[in-house]
Structure 1
């Protein structure tokens, strides 16, 4: 595991995705993350029954688990001891909840002025929506993101929990900035991020187009301008192509298709013509691509330097030659659930992660952490916890 954040100590009190994702991003870089859970655990543990769902595993690797009931004096004392030595605290409670638990920013900064306190919410800590419950689909909708990715004639949500994960990534980004500043000032910050703000920023290009052109973007704008198509091949497999603004890509596509009719069609002779007749060109390409199976087109498009990719299922991604070359799928050490995972995407000096640590069982490290806290005034680091376990 990479260790660029080695020595950074994080207390994460997150549930579901946004907070845990932020903690995982930092843990993946070598930070020591202790996940504080209630006696019943992060609800995402039992998302599909049991106490260790795949959903929980996805966002909680490389962490330690400690159960604390902050309504109990002894557990509050343990929490305070950790906060006093921590560099970062992360929570994604509804506004006001942390204060009721004694984990509000003012109290924790009194305990530790160097603490970078990160609070994640649905809509922000103030305003008319602050008390509303927010989930991934709500944030995607309110932020405008869905309007520029969904077909209005057949609207459907995208599969992955994009708003949740993206908010967690933005939170980790903010934490890293605050840690860098602290190295100069010696003081912590209160980092705030909401799902609404994260998703609006993630959709920054459609907002820029709206402000520049005073036109409301739609879901068809980006693929039309980028000349991107999803096409069905013989055998019903799908392939994506992206022609962009480079003319050689169009010429390469025409050569790969070996279609005199397409190359002579006046509507498609210029890039602007292809944009103006996007749907018509799509219909022509669908008809042509349906003549041969996906492998035929993959070879022809690669031979002519056209940007393309098959629309892989997850099982196909795992076996993809480039994915295997990059070592993107790695073993999970001490696996409590799945034995493999997608490694972190970032590399440092060409070094890649060779494995990741499994998400912890509920309170898996609780007894050892408590022993370490009782035996020392310092942070219960992983080596100390192992020795006391």
Structure 2
């Protein structure tokens, strides 16, 4: 098998991140993903204004095939309908109401194929007071509470990657897997609605539940204080982090690794409640100690004393780590007449249904002839479609 989803066909109507990432995950699991793109440029992440062939597009579109269809035309929709009849999943991240306007919503498609599973990813869902609002990643992060635990409200500057886009793509893929299991039992497909705001909030389930329990919303440093997580800089300027969690043995190991076992019984730090209470003072105390020697020395000492620790890598350094290399997390995808792509592999390993190496991201409309021919269109008709702007 080429993965546990071999034999499953996905039609992806996705742009930017959430839809393409969700479909990419299904592709990694072995599904055949056909990316249906607008003939006039396709997915904006192709980045024609930046010269085309962009890493942002590679990241979310490996392993797919591409066809172009103008779904605003009757003939374009006819081709899409024919594909739906032979597919399992339609995944899209259009604004609410667009699929219905185009005549490609679930209620329409289920009449063609009652086993079809449709997954829609939006900012806040298909109904409600915000249904007509534009939603990009930052909107999902703000509404879902992510920004409040990442940035300082007194100096508000958004930081970090596209959490809302990525999480909604991941939850959508999870939703599709659940719908496939349900279909195996009922024989019927269904509609799945995923949201960026909801996915973010579900990801924040622990701090959200705590807030609902005691009414005190967390900030960016709440979890580090509670989980006893610290970051330090060594004499060579290289950062590293420590996670003490709750076992007392990690605190004792830290003191020994730092060469100060007398701190174990220091009344400011000797219990977890005291360490939480005096978090800043503990961080300052050990920060001064760790600035005395280079990071490599402290990594050895922390490992010798069994303290959970890590160097803080940037995304160039991470691929040089021996454990990351051992895990094979960097992969290379060869392309015809273009430089190969170095990227990150799917992180799960299956004992039996091994996944095949992903193919290169498709060129725009690269597989038009393959699928149109399979639907019974001859070269003359395909040429006519192209001339009329249908493909």
TM interval, short-chain normalised: over 0.9
**TM superposition outliers: structure 1 runs of 4+ over 4 Å:** 335-338, 350-354
Alignment counterpart, residue 349 of structure 1, candidates 351, 354, 362: 351
Corresponding residue SS for 1:59: helix
Give how far 1:47 is off. 7.0
* 1:211-360 pair list within 5 angstroms: 211-259=212-260, 262-263=263-264, 265-334=266-335, 336=338, 338-349=340-351, 355-360=357-362
Corresponding residue SS for 1:103: coil
Structure 2 unmatched ranges of 5 or more: 379-391
CA shift digits 1:210-269 (9 cap, x unpaired): 122232222222110110011111121110100000111001100000125634532011
CA shift digits 1:164-189 (9 cap, x unpaired): 01100000111110110000111001
2:88 & 2:353 partners in 1: Cα distance? 26
Corresponding residue SS for 1:64: strand
2:196 & 2:38 partners in 1: Cα distance? 23
State the partner residue of 1:15. 15
TM-score after normalising by structure 2 = 0.92
- Measured on the aligned residues, the alpha-carbon RMSD in Å equals 1.8
Give how far 1:153 is off. 4.1
Structure 1 unmatched ranges of 5 or more: 377-389
State the partner residue of 2:97. 96
Give how far 1:339 is off. 2.3
Give how far 1:367 is off. 1.9
Corresponding residue SS for 1:179: helix
Give how far 1:48 is off. 6.3
TM-score after normalising by structure 1 = 0.92
1:224 & 1:155 partners in 2: Cα distance? 21
State the partner residue of 1:369. 371
Corresponding residue SS for 1:36: strand
Give how far 1:356 is off. 2.0
Corresponding residue SS for 1:176: helix
1:170 & 1:111 partners in 2: Cα distance? 26
2:190 & 2:302 partners in 1: Cα distance? 51
1:338 & 1:283 partners in 2: Cα distance? 46
State the partner residue of 1:162. 163
2:351 & 2:323 partners in 1: Cα distance? 20
1:3 & 1:19 partners in 2: Cα distance? 21
Contact 1:61-1:358 at 8 Å conserved across structures: yes
Change (3 A) 1:48 1:292: farther
State the partner residue of 1:128. 129
Give how far 1:151 is off. 3.0
Identify the range of structure 1 (287-296 vs 212-221) with the bigger mean alpha-carbon deviation: 212-221
1:253 & 1:299 partners in 2: Cα distance? 12
1:4 & 1:68 partners in 2: Cα distance? 29
Contact 2:84-2:112 at 8 Å conserved across structures: yes
2:83 & 2:19 partners in 1: Cα distance? 18
2:298 & 2:9 partners in 1: Cα distance? 51
Identify the range of structure 1 (312-321 vs 326-335) with the bigger mean alpha-carbon deviation: 326-335
2:99 & 2:57 partners in 1: Cα distance? 22
State the partner residue of 1:386. none
1:343 & 1:369 partners in 2: Cα distance? 28
* 1:11-90 pair list within 5 angstroms: 11-39=11-39, 40-46=41-47, 49-90=50-91
State the partner residue of 2:386. none
